[in-house]
Structure 1
Amino acid sequence: MANRIRGDRVTVCVLMAGLPGSGKTTLSRTLTARGFVRMCPDEEMFRRHGVYGVDFPRGVFPTLERPVLEDVAADLRKQLKAGHDVVVDHGFWTPDDRAKWSAIAAEAGARPVLVYLAASHDELWARISKRNEFHASDPNSIYFSESDLQRYRTRFVPPAADEPHVLYDGDPAAVIAALDDPPA
């Protein structure tokens, strides 16, 4: 499908690759302030099913998440086809997952932009430890132990050199510049 033009530029879909605590929600809220529609599967999981590990057991998360992701993907298509810029506040841990969601964006006429939120284990664990204090009331504060984080890190595949992405270092300026300057 041809790219949808919004004003003088193509509609954009920002996808993020990052572990819990890497700054996805902070960045997505910055983009929302710039007019992006924010979609967050974790928040939808919280609305539908409650607190992870409290209201439903950890082992059923993938089963419960599947229809949530399908609904988010349908809404993503709708928002992009309507010409809205969108940021998906989700970790996209694997190249296959990122390719699938990039294809959804491209098929809807948008330019997918992958942002990689790299962070050390110590940075992630410090942020998660702080968030753990609020996990019962905040949908973005799912309780994680340090062993959970270590296990997640073994399943996370950072974008490789051949997977175009913008590196986020905590300053949204590089991301915003990449959104404003389409690739050649």
Structure 2
Amino acid sequence: MTAQGSGGSRAIVYLLVGLTGSGKTTYAKRVLAGVTRLSVDELVHERHGRYGVDYPEPQYFELEAPIVAEVRERVAELVAAGTDVVLDHGLWLRSSRDEWKKLVEDAGGRWRLLYFPVERAELLRRLEKRNKRTDGNALMVTESALDDFYERFDVPEGEGELVIEPDLRGPA
């Protein structure tokens, strides 16, 4: 996979779908290295600090909205230029995934929906380690917050998704 499309080929946008801690960023950095990666969480962290520490948790979506709009514009620009992109964002809702697919197609690109399923117990194990970090990909997630995430997550089914099994993600 290359960062630039070649010849008459259309850019590919990898839409990563999964809950917090499912391995999206790890996969993007290890398997899709060299593809332009756009991370909403990292941009929120860069501009506003750490989730639940530098601003209240309920404020996240308010801070995230303009960044998502900016990333949408950037994806369209990159696709139009023939550049492959990884959208490192959870895409929890089917309606959101459909909007991103349409954006990619309207910009002249192709999308690949990559789904990262992980069992709850494994997510809790990963989050326990990750909750001790302070980088932009280390949102503090409690067990009750994870339960809330599961309630709000639309599992991709029949959306053209490719399931990325844990052994294909590289070491956690």
When normalised by structure 2's length, the TM-score is 0.91
Q: In structure 2, do the counterparts of structure 1 residues 20 and 58 end up closer, same or farther at CA, with 3 Å as the change threshold?
A: same
CA contact (8 A) 1:18 1:118 kept: yes
1:140 partnered with 2:140: no
Aligned to 1:86: 85
Name the counterpart of 1:151.
148
Deviation at 1:82, TM superposition (A): 1.0
What amino acid sits opposite 1:88 in the alignment? L
Query: Offset of 1:32 from its aligned partner?
Result: 4.0
The share of aligned pairs that are identical, in percent, is: 36
How many angstroms apart in 1 are the aligned matches of 2:31 and 2:82? 16
Residue identity opposite 1:168 in structure 2: I
Unaligned runs of 5+ in 2: none
Structure 2 CA distance, aligned partners of 1:53 and 1:171?
Answer: 32
Aligned counterparts, 1:18-167, within 5 A: 18-33=18-33, 35-134=34-133, 137-160=134-157, 162-167=158-163
1:8 Cα shift?
6.4
Distance of 2:40 and 2:118 partners within structure 1 = 22
Counterpart residue identity of residue 163, structure 1: E
Q: Deviations over 1:59-109 (max 9, x none)?
A: 111111100100011111111111110001111001100000111111111
Q: How far, CA to CA, are the matches of 1:63 and 1:144 in structure 2?
A: 18
Q: Say if 1:31 and 1:87, in contact at 8 Å, map to a contact too.
A: no
Runs of 4+ in 1 over 3 A off after TM superposition: none
Task: Tell me the distance in 2 between the aligned counterparts of 1:54 and 1:152.
Answer: 19
- Distance in 2 between residues matched to 1:167 and 1:120, nearest whole Å: 14
Structure-2 change in CA distance of 1:55 and 1:100 (3 Å): same
Alpha-carbon separation, structure 1, partners of 2:8 and 2:105 = 18
Separation (CA, whole Å) in 1 of partners of 2:100 and 2:168? 22
SS of 1:115's equivalent? Answer: strand
- Partners of 1:108 and 1:12 in 2: CA distance: 11
Structure 1 unaligned spans of 5+: 174-184
Q: What SS does structure 1 have at the residue aligned with 2:166?
A: coil
Q: Post-superposition shift, 1:163?
A: 1.1
User: How many residue pairs are counted as aligned between the two chains?
Assistant: 166
CA distance, structure 2, for counterparts of residue 113 and residue 101 of structure 1: 11
1:180 is matched with which residue?
Answer: none
1-structure distance, mates of 2:43, 2:15:
17
> What is the distance in 2 between the residues matched to 1:117 and 1:62?
22
